[in-house]
């Protein structure tokens, strides 16, 4: 299938509704959300919508970066980015926790917090960018937009000379080969009930170059 090219944009509040809709469709069938938000219990779709809404709301409230791909003014892919110094900012917010408790319940909020802390616990010390949410709209999958989004993310994060790279996680095993082909290495694994959440790291080009020079004794 021919590649579809999209425009890369940093997104603001005007895209909030589209972001929530896209991420809801991207995550509602993901095994990680199925476990965290108890898909076997009535009200699962509402809990997915609420979780996406509260995460994106807090992200935008704290003015953290969001990178998206746009085709003909339609948002087709998006990634929320947590800079190194703000990796725990959203889940440490008591306002966020209270809204999650009210919309998803105690058990789901507790599961999400434990999952988030376990993923971050897999990382070695150092400054990293983290992607709490990333997705391509299902209608546009298979058009190489995932590759374009990763390329844009790698280029954007590489501009921060203080960051060692980019971290994301997935409980969907069918994505692993895709991420590995694009330079990600697994740095940890988290057990979420029957799900195995894989924590993946992509080094910034500057970091790779530094390691190469050190290896050559330069």
Residue range(s) defining the domain that contains residue 174 = 7-215
Q: Is residue 159 part of a domain?
A: yes
CA torsion 61→62→63→68, rounded to 10°?
-80
Other CB atoms within 10 A of residue 20 CB: 18
d(CA 164, CA 130) in angstroms, rounded, equals 11
pLDDT tens digits, the chain, 218 residues: what are they?
456 788 999 999 999 999 999 999 999 999 999 999 999 999 999 999 999 999 999 999 989 999 999 999 999 999 999 988 655 555 667 788 888 999 999 999 999 999 988 988 888 777 889 999 999 998 898 889 999 999 999 999 988 888 889 999 999 999 999 999 999 999 999 999 999 999 999 998 765 444 443 443 43
Q: Is residue 158 part of a domain?
A: yes
| Alpha-carbon torsion (100, 103, 106, 108), positive or negative | negative
Q: Is residue 108 part of a domain?
A: yes
CATH number at residue 171: 3.40.630.30
Domain count, the chain: 1
Q: Is residue 1 part of a domain?
A: no
Global pTM exceeds 0.85: yes
Q: Is residue 2 part of a domain?
A: no
């Amino acid at each position: 299938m021919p590649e579809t090219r999209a425009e890369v944009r940093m997104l603001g509040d005007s895209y909030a509704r589209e972001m929530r809709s896209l991420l809801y469709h991207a995550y509602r069938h993901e095994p990680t959300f199925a476990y965290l938000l108890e898909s076997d219990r009535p009200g699962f779709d509402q809990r997915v919508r609420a979780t996406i809404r509260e995460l994106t709301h807090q992200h935008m409230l704290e003015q953290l970066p969001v990178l998206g791909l746009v085709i003909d003014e339609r948002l087709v892919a998006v990634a929320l980015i947590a800079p190194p110094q703000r990796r725990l900012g959203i889940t440490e917010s008591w306002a966020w926790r209270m809204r999650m408790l009210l919309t998803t319940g105690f058990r789901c909020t507790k599961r999400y917090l434990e999952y988030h802390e376990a993923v971050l616990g897999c990382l070695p010390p150092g400054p990293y960018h983290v992607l709490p949410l990333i997705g391509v709209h299902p209608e546009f999958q298979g058009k190489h937009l995932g590759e374009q989004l990763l390329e844009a993310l790698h280029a954007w994060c590489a501009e921060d000379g203080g960051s060692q790279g980019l971290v994301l996680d997935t409980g969907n095993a069918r994505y692993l080969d895709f991420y590995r082909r694009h330079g990600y290495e697994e740095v940890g694994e988290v057990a979420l009930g029957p799900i195995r959440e894989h924590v993946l790291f992509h080094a910034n080009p500057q970091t790779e170059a530094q390691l190469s020079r050190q290896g050559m004794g330069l």
